Amino acid sequence: MREYESHLSKAFIIVFSLVCVAFFSVPLLWLLTAPFTPKTTLAVEIPANPTLENFRRVFDNSFAIRALFRNNLIIAGGAMLMVSTVATLASYGLSRTRLPGKNTLVYVLMLFSSVVGGTAAMVPLFLLAHNLHLIDTHLGVILVLTGGLLPAAIFMMRDFVESIPRSYEEAAIVYGASPLRIFCDIAFPLIRPGVAVVAIWTFVNAWGAFLIPVVMLRNPKNMPASVALYSFYSEAGTPIHTLVAAYAFLYGIPVLVLYLLVNWRFGFRFFGGIKS
Protein backbone atom coordinates (compact mmCIF):
# COMPACT_ATOMS: atom_id res chain seq x y z
CA MET A 1 0.00 0.00 0.00
CA ARG A 2 3.02 2.25 0.48
CA GLU A 3 3.45 2.57 -3.27
CA TYR A 4 0.26 4.54 -3.66
CA GLU A 5 1.13 7.17 -1.17
CA SER A 6 0.97 10.57 -2.74
CA HIS A 7 3.69 13.16 -2.51
CA LEU A 8 1.53 15.00 -0.05
CA SER A 9 1.51 12.19 2.45
CA LYS A 10 5.22 11.59 1.88
CA ALA A 11 5.83 15.19 2.82
CA PHE A 12 3.59 14.71 5.83
CA ILE A 13 5.61 11.68 6.95
CA ILE A 14 8.82 13.64 6.72
CA VAL A 15 7.43 16.63 8.56
CA PHE A 16 5.96 14.47 11.30
CA SER A 17 9.22 12.57 11.71
CA LEU A 18 11.24 15.75 11.89
CA VAL A 19 8.91 17.20 14.49
CA CYS A 20 9.40 14.05 16.57
CA VAL A 21 13.15 14.11 16.14
CA ALA A 22 13.22 17.79 17.09
CA PHE A 23 11.07 17.17 20.15
CA PHE A 24 13.43 14.49 21.43
CA SER A 25 16.76 15.94 20.39
CA VAL A 26 16.60 19.72 20.61
CA PRO A 27 16.66 19.79 24.44
CA LEU A 28 19.93 17.88 24.30
CA LEU A 29 21.63 19.92 21.59
CA TRP A 30 23.17 22.27 24.09
CA LEU A 31 25.08 19.31 25.54
CA LEU A 32 26.75 18.82 22.20
CA THR A 33 27.91 22.40 21.67
CA ALA A 34 28.55 23.85 25.12
CA PRO A 35 31.46 21.55 26.04
CA PHE A 36 33.42 22.89 23.09
CA THR A 37 32.62 26.54 23.69
CA PRO A 38 35.23 28.75 25.39
CA LYS A 39 32.88 31.02 27.29
CA THR A 40 30.00 30.10 29.52
CA THR A 41 26.74 30.13 27.61
CA LEU A 42 23.26 28.70 27.65
CA ALA A 43 22.64 29.19 23.98
CA VAL A 44 23.13 26.52 21.38
CA GLU A 45 25.73 27.93 19.07
CA ILE A 46 28.36 26.25 16.99
CA PRO A 47 31.56 27.58 18.58
CA ALA A 48 33.64 29.70 16.25
CA ASN A 49 36.82 28.43 17.88
CA PRO A 50 36.02 24.99 19.21
CA THR A 51 38.16 24.15 22.20
CA LEU A 52 39.00 21.18 24.38
CA GLU A 53 39.96 23.49 27.19
CA ASN A 54 36.80 22.63 29.17
CA PHE A 55 37.68 18.96 29.14
CA ARG A 56 41.18 19.77 30.32
CA ARG A 57 39.74 21.68 33.26
CA VAL A 58 37.35 18.84 34.00
CA PHE A 59 40.29 16.46 34.17
CA ASP A 60 41.92 18.81 36.67
CA ASN A 61 39.06 18.12 39.04
CA SER A 62 40.38 14.88 40.49
CA PHE A 63 37.30 14.43 42.64
CA ALA A 64 34.99 14.42 39.64
CA ILE A 65 37.29 12.23 37.58
CA ARG A 66 37.58 9.71 40.36
CA ALA A 67 33.79 9.71 40.61
CA LEU A 68 33.39 9.04 36.94
CA PHE A 69 36.17 6.59 36.21
CA ARG A 70 36.31 4.74 39.49
CA ASN A 71 33.18 5.04 41.60
CA ASN A 72 30.75 4.91 38.73
CA LEU A 73 32.50 1.95 37.18
CA ILE A 74 32.51 0.11 40.50
CA ILE A 75 28.85 0.77 41.14
CA ALA A 76 27.56 0.13 37.63
CA GLY A 77 29.91 -2.79 37.03
CA GLY A 78 29.11 -4.36 40.38
CA ALA A 79 25.37 -4.03 39.91
CA MET A 80 25.74 -5.40 36.40
CA LEU A 81 27.58 -8.53 37.57
CA MET A 82 25.22 -9.04 40.46
CA VAL A 83 21.97 -8.55 38.57
CA SER A 84 22.92 -10.54 35.50
CA THR A 85 24.24 -13.48 37.51
CA VAL A 86 21.35 -13.66 39.93
CA ALA A 87 18.70 -12.95 37.31
CA THR A 88 20.11 -15.56 34.94
CA LEU A 89 20.12 -18.26 37.58
CA ALA A 90 16.69 -17.26 38.83
CA SER A 91 14.99 -17.07 35.47
CA TYR A 92 16.44 -20.42 34.52
CA GLY A 93 15.38 -22.04 37.76
CA LEU A 94 11.97 -20.45 37.48
CA SER A 95 11.45 -21.63 33.96
CA ARG A 96 12.61 -25.18 34.54
CA THR A 97 10.79 -26.05 37.71
CA ARG A 98 7.16 -26.63 38.22
CA LEU A 99 5.76 -23.79 40.26
CA PRO A 100 2.12 -22.90 39.91
CA GLY A 101 1.44 -19.20 39.44
CA LYS A 102 5.03 -18.33 38.73
CA ASN A 103 4.22 -15.93 35.89
CA THR A 104 1.88 -13.94 38.04
CA LEU A 105 4.47 -14.01 40.80
CA VAL A 106 7.15 -12.43 38.64
CA TYR A 107 4.75 -9.83 37.29
CA VAL A 108 3.56 -8.87 40.76
CA LEU A 109 7.16 -8.72 41.99
CA MET A 110 7.98 -6.36 39.17
CA LEU A 111 5.08 -4.06 39.97
CA PHE A 112 6.07 -4.32 43.60
CA SER A 113 9.64 -3.37 42.86
CA SER A 114 8.57 -0.30 40.95
CA VAL A 115 6.60 0.79 44.02
CA VAL A 116 8.98 -0.20 46.80
CA GLY A 117 12.13 0.40 44.78
CA GLY A 118 11.23 4.02 44.20
CA THR A 119 11.52 6.82 46.72
CA ALA A 120 9.08 5.16 49.09
CA ALA A 121 11.54 2.63 50.48
CA MET A 122 14.42 5.01 50.93
CA VAL A 123 14.07 5.16 54.69
CA PRO A 124 14.08 1.42 55.44
CA LEU A 125 16.76 0.80 52.84
CA PHE A 126 18.86 3.44 54.50
CA LEU A 127 18.27 1.92 57.93
CA LEU A 128 18.94 -1.54 56.56
CA ALA A 129 22.25 -0.43 55.16
CA HIS A 130 22.95 1.33 58.42
CA ASN A 131 22.38 -1.83 60.44
CA LEU A 132 24.49 -3.88 58.05
CA HIS A 133 27.29 -1.29 58.24
CA LEU A 134 26.93 -0.70 54.53
CA ILE A 135 26.42 3.05 54.71
CA ASP A 136 29.06 4.87 52.72
CA THR A 137 30.18 1.71 50.93
CA HIS A 138 29.85 0.94 47.27
CA LEU A 139 28.73 -2.55 48.15
CA GLY A 140 25.71 -1.10 49.92
CA VAL A 141 24.75 0.91 46.85
CA ILE A 142 25.28 -2.11 44.62
CA LEU A 143 23.14 -4.36 46.78
CA VAL A 144 20.29 -1.88 47.02
CA LEU A 145 20.37 -1.23 43.28
CA THR A 146 20.44 -4.97 42.62
CA GLY A 147 17.41 -5.56 44.81
CA GLY A 148 15.44 -2.94 42.94
CA LEU A 149 16.46 -3.96 39.43
CA LEU A 150 16.26 -7.71 39.88
CA PRO A 151 12.55 -8.35 39.32
CA ALA A 152 12.50 -6.46 36.04
CA ALA A 153 15.71 -8.20 34.97
CA ILE A 154 14.22 -11.62 35.69
CA PHE A 155 11.15 -10.54 33.81
CA MET A 156 13.21 -9.66 30.73
CA MET A 157 15.40 -12.72 30.92
CA ARG A 158 12.60 -15.21 31.23
CA ASP A 159 11.65 -14.88 27.63
CA PHE A 160 15.12 -15.76 26.46
CA VAL A 161 15.09 -18.81 28.70
CA GLU A 162 11.64 -19.89 27.65
CA SER A 163 12.69 -19.82 24.02
CA ILE A 164 15.11 -22.72 24.49
CA PRO A 165 13.35 -25.94 23.47
CA ARG A 166 12.92 -28.35 26.34
CA SER A 167 14.23 -31.17 24.19
CA TYR A 168 17.74 -29.68 24.33
CA GLU A 169 17.95 -30.20 28.02
CA GLU A 170 16.04 -33.46 27.96
CA ALA A 171 18.52 -34.90 25.50
CA ALA A 172 21.32 -33.91 27.85
CA ILE A 173 19.48 -35.47 30.76
CA VAL A 174 19.06 -38.73 28.89
CA TYR A 175 22.77 -38.71 28.14
CA GLY A 176 23.50 -38.32 31.82
CA ALA A 177 24.36 -34.64 32.31
CA SER A 178 23.82 -33.06 35.74
CA PRO A 179 21.69 -29.91 36.16
CA LEU A 180 24.73 -27.72 36.67
CA ARG A 181 26.41 -29.19 33.61
CA ILE A 182 23.26 -28.67 31.54
CA PHE A 183 23.16 -25.07 32.65
CA CYS A 184 26.80 -24.44 31.77
CA ASP A 185 27.01 -26.46 28.54
CA ILE A 186 23.64 -25.82 27.03
CA ALA A 187 21.37 -23.28 28.66
CA PHE A 188 23.90 -20.56 29.36
CA PRO A 189 25.47 -20.40 25.88
CA LEU A 190 21.99 -20.17 24.41
CA ILE A 191 20.76 -17.36 26.64
CA ARG A 192 23.93 -15.33 26.35
CA PRO A 193 22.24 -12.64 24.25
CA GLY A 194 19.66 -12.26 27.01
CA VAL A 195 22.39 -12.05 29.61
CA ALA A 196 24.13 -9.38 27.56
CA VAL A 197 20.99 -7.34 27.18
CA VAL A 198 20.15 -7.54 30.87
CA ALA A 199 23.74 -6.73 31.81
CA ILE A 200 23.81 -3.62 29.68
CA TRP A 201 20.38 -2.55 30.82
CA THR A 202 21.52 -2.87 34.44
CA PHE A 203 24.76 -1.07 33.77
CA VAL A 204 23.00 1.89 32.20
CA ASN A 205 20.46 2.07 35.02
CA ALA A 206 23.10 1.95 37.72
CA TRP A 207 25.36 4.31 35.82
CA GLY A 208 22.75 7.04 35.99
CA ALA A 209 21.57 6.37 39.55
CA PHE A 210 21.35 9.51 41.66
CA LEU A 211 18.99 9.18 44.59
CA ILE A 212 20.27 5.90 46.03
CA PRO A 213 23.93 6.93 46.09
CA VAL A 214 23.01 10.30 47.54
CA VAL A 215 21.14 8.67 50.36
CA MET A 216 23.56 5.83 50.97
CA LEU A 217 26.94 7.50 50.59
CA ARG A 218 28.57 10.09 52.86
CA ASN A 219 32.16 10.58 51.91
CA PRO A 220 32.53 12.76 48.78
CA LYS A 221 35.32 10.48 47.66
CA ASN A 222 32.82 7.66 47.19
CA MET A 223 30.24 9.61 45.25
CA PRO A 224 29.40 8.66 41.67
CA ALA A 225 29.37 11.04 38.75
CA SER A 226 25.71 11.95 39.16
CA VAL A 227 26.65 13.65 42.41
CA ALA A 228 30.10 14.83 41.35
CA LEU A 229 28.48 16.86 38.58
CA TYR A 230 27.54 19.34 41.28
CA SER A 231 31.20 19.97 42.03
CA PHE A 232 31.32 22.19 38.97
CA TYR A 233 29.38 24.88 40.71
CA SER A 234 31.03 28.10 41.74
CA GLU A 235 31.36 29.15 45.36
CA ALA A 236 28.13 31.08 44.97
CA GLY A 237 26.28 27.92 43.99
CA THR A 238 25.81 28.70 40.33
CA PRO A 239 26.93 26.18 37.76
CA ILE A 240 29.94 26.84 35.55
CA HIS A 241 28.01 25.84 32.49
CA THR A 242 30.78 24.90 30.14
CA LEU A 243 32.42 22.62 32.69
CA VAL A 244 29.18 20.99 33.73
CA ALA A 245 28.40 20.43 30.09
CA ALA A 246 31.81 18.94 29.42
CA TYR A 247 31.51 16.63 32.39
CA ALA A 248 27.94 15.68 31.53
CA PHE A 249 29.16 14.95 28.04
CA LEU A 250 31.79 12.51 29.32
CA TYR A 251 29.28 11.00 31.70
CA GLY A 252 26.68 10.47 28.98
CA ILE A 253 29.00 8.99 26.34
CA PRO A 254 29.17 5.43 27.75
CA VAL A 255 25.39 5.22 27.70
CA LEU A 256 25.34 6.29 24.09
CA VAL A 257 28.01 3.75 23.22
CA LEU A 258 26.21 0.92 24.99
CA TYR A 259 22.98 1.87 23.29
CA LEU A 260 24.68 1.71 19.91
CA LEU A 261 26.22 -1.62 20.86
CA VAL A 262 22.90 -3.18 21.80
CA ASN A 263 21.22 -1.68 18.79
CA TRP A 264 23.89 -3.07 16.51
CA ARG A 265 24.09 -6.56 18.05
CA PHE A 266 20.49 -7.27 18.93
CA GLY A 267 18.40 -4.39 17.62
CA PHE A 268 17.04 -2.23 20.39
CA ARG A 269 13.50 -3.41 20.98
CA PHE A 270 11.37 -5.22 23.44
CA PHE A 271 13.35 -8.35 23.80
CA GLY A 272 11.50 -11.56 23.17
CA GLY A 273 8.46 -9.87 21.67
CA ILE A 274 5.30 -9.44 23.64
CA LYS A 275 2.28 -11.56 24.17
CA SER A 276 -1.23 -10.56 24.92
- Which 213-272 positions form the footprint of another protein (CB under 8 A)? 215, 225-226, 229, 239, 241, 244-245, 248, 251-252, 255-256, 259, 263, 268-272
Q: 67, 144, 195, 223: which one contacts another protein (CB under 8 A)?
A: 144
Q: How far is the CB of 255 from another protein (least distance, A)?
A: 6
Burial class (CB in 10 A: 0-12, 13-18, 19+), 40: middle
Q: How far is the CB of 236 from another protein (least distance, A)?
A: 16
Measured from the CB atom, is 62 or 104 closer to another protein?
Answer: 104
Measured from the CB atom, is 56 or 166 closer to another protein?
Answer: 166
Q: 65, 73, 204, 240: which one contacts another protein (CB under 8 A)?
A: 204
Which span (48-56, 58-66, 144-152) binds another protein, by CB under 8 A?
Answer: 144-152
Query: Between the CA atoms of 240, 241, 246 and 248, what dihedral angle is there, to the nearest 10 degrees?
Result: 100
Q: How far is the CB of 238 from another protein (least distance, A)?
A: 11
Q: 2, 7, 8, 46: which one contacts another protein (CB under 8 A)?
A: 2
Three-class DSSP category at 118: coil
Binding residues for another protein restricted to 28-57, rule: CB under 8 A: 28-31, 34, 41-44
Q: DSSP states of 63-95 as a string?
A: HHHHIIIIIHHHHHHHHHHHHHHHHHHHHHHHH
Q: Which helix (DSSP H) or strand (DSSP E) does residue 152 occupy?
A: helix 138-162
Burial class (CB in 10 A: 0-12, 13-18, 19+), 101: exposed
Instruction: Calculate the CA 89 to chain-centre distance.
Output: 20
Q: How far is the CB of 70 from another protein (least distance, A)?
A: 17
Q: Is 205 left (phi over 0), alpha (psi -120 to 50) or beta?
A: alpha
Q: 11, 25, 59, 69: which one contacts another protein (CB under 8 A)?
A: 25
- Please tell me whether residue 127 binds another protein under the rule CB under 8 A: yes
Binding residues for another protein restricted to 160-199, rule: CB under 8 A: 162, 165-177, 179, 181, 183, 185-186, 189-190, 197
Residue 49 has φ and ψ, to the nearest 5°, of -120, 85
Total residues binding another protein (CB under 8 A): 129
Q: Which helix (DSSP H) or strand (DSSP E) does residue 140 occupy?
A: helix 138-162
Binding residues for another protein restricted to 59-118, rule: CB under 8 A: 85-87, 89-90, 92-104, 107, 109-118
Nearest to 208 by CA among 259, 135, 266, 167: 259
What single DSSP character describes residue 223? -
What single DSSP character describes residue 121? G
Q: 136, 208, 231, 240: which one contacts another protein (CB under 8 A)?
A: 208
Q: 37, 54, 71, 146: which one contacts another protein (CB under 8 A)?
A: 146
